[in-house]
Chains A and B, each alone.
Chain A
Amino acid sequence: MRSNRIEIWVGIFILLGLAALTMLAVQVSNAGGAGGDTYRVNAHFDNIGGLTEKAPVMIGGVRVGRVGVIGIDTDSYRAVVGLDIDARYDTLPADTSASILTAGLLGAQFVGLQPGADDFYLEDGDRLEITQSAIQLESLISQFMFSQGRGGEQ
């Protein structure tokens, strides 16, 4: 029957469309991983280089969260980076340190965490005390050149 065939096709069309939407949501975007609960810890840096919001937060190369917000502490004028850590990683030691690293020589920057040995765990709103700022290629090069220059004089 004609109308029946139309209904079947429309049903297929809508199912396909919804499947595509689901795929975009789950497989393509981050909704599958970071849809769950997170807790926020803050890290203060002198210089965050090219770090952007939503950059990954990694421990040993495994993504455990993402950069939620980047701002300035108006007292110290240091950069404050809010890290949204997945709630299932709730046993990070309180003396964990954070550093801003680069994937490859020119790749995107991310926050790497090095867990410490404290008995207390990080909780929502905690502050990471030990941080290492982004390594800037320009300052590395200038350091290298100045030290070369001094070496030549002596």
Chain B
Amino acid sequence: MKLIAALGAWAIAFVARLGASFLFLLRALAGAGRALPRFSLVVEQLYAIGVLTLLIILVSGLFVGMVLGLQGYYQLVNFSAESSLGLVVALFLVRELGPVLSALLFAGRAGSALTAEIGLMKATDQLAAMEMMAVDPFARVIGPRFVAGLIAMPLLAALLSAVGVLGGYLIGHGQFGVDPGVYWSSMQNGVDLVDDVLNGIIKSVVFGFVITWVALFEGYAAPPTSEGVSRATTRTVVASSLAVLGGDYILTALMFGGL
């Protein structure tokens, strides 16, 4: 009986939270619309969200590309197909690793920071103070961050993919002597602009949307205590990472499954 009641309570709380998050999304989107004319606010957030995430994205991209180069070469050389190395590396990166890995890093680096920032602003009455100064926090605080997240995520994903392809080239050409022309031409022959590159970008836009939404909502809904904010930060990383991986499966099935 207790178990059933606990389940019921959990379900009610879950649905309530879901509803709250959708209401929040509507207000955030409205705020984003009103933030666009004041692009300097968005630029500030692009710095906090994008530029500060740049380094980890570039370094990760390089290493992932190099690992792909190594592993890809070891497998392909069994079939004397090392000429396809460029194709394998590029497809992995552009379709999957670029959007997904950058999204996970983004959730960990920028998403958690967003939650903590909004949560602290709420805990220290900064949002309430804005309201009392007749400034809508959704237009001034939430909106610009939302827009910045949407812009930054695809750029970061593209950077990770591009650096990764270079990393694969570094290993393929530098260590194994794969011909540069073969590396690039196999890539160009096999990677399609619409099917692969564009779909990868769409994925990353969706991921950026979800992560920014989760992060901002968790911060906004966090209990105004230091414990509440730190829990919300953890939840942001967990929830948005799960959403990215689950969403990636759905998107991949939709995009590449011929549906």
Contact = CB atoms under 8 A, between A and B. Distances in A.
A23 B46 CA distance: 22
Nearest to B79: A106
B44 interface: yes
B253 to A, nearest CB: 20
Interface in A81-127: 104-108
Interface residues of B, number: 37
A28 B46 contact: no
Given A6-B47, A29-B197, A104-B80, A24 B158 contact: yes
A24 B160 CA distance: 11
Given A6-B43, A10-B51, A20-B158, A28 B81 contact: no
Contact of A17 (B47, B84, B158, B191): B158
Interface string B180-203: 000010011111110011001100
Interface in A24-83: 24-25, 27-33, 35, 54, 56, 63, 66
Interface string B154-186: 111011011101000000000000000000100
Contacts of A108: 84
A20 B162 contact: yes
B50 interface: yes
Contacts of A56: 189
Contacts of B161: 20, 24, 28
A145 interface: no
A28 B159 CA distance: 13
B54 interface: yes
Interface in B41-75: 43-44, 46-47, 50-51, 54
B90 interface: yes
Contacts of A105: 80
Interface of B: 40, 43-44, 46-47, 50-51, 54, 79-81, 84, 90, 94, 151-152, 154-156, 158-159, 161-163, 165, 184, 187-193, 196-197, 200-201
Interface of A: 3, 6-7, 9-10, 12-14, 16-21, 23-25, 27-33, 35, 54, 56, 63, 66, 104-108
> Closest 7 CB pairs between A and B?
A17-B155, A20-B162, A20-B158, A31-B193, A29-B191, A29-B193, A20-B159
21 contacts: A7-B43, A10-B46, A10-B50, A13-B47, A13-B50, A13-B51, A13-B54, A16-B54, A16-B159, A17-B154, A20-B155, A20-B158, A20-B161, A21-B154, A21-B201, A25-B197, A27-B187, A27-B188, A28-B188, A29-B197, A30-B192
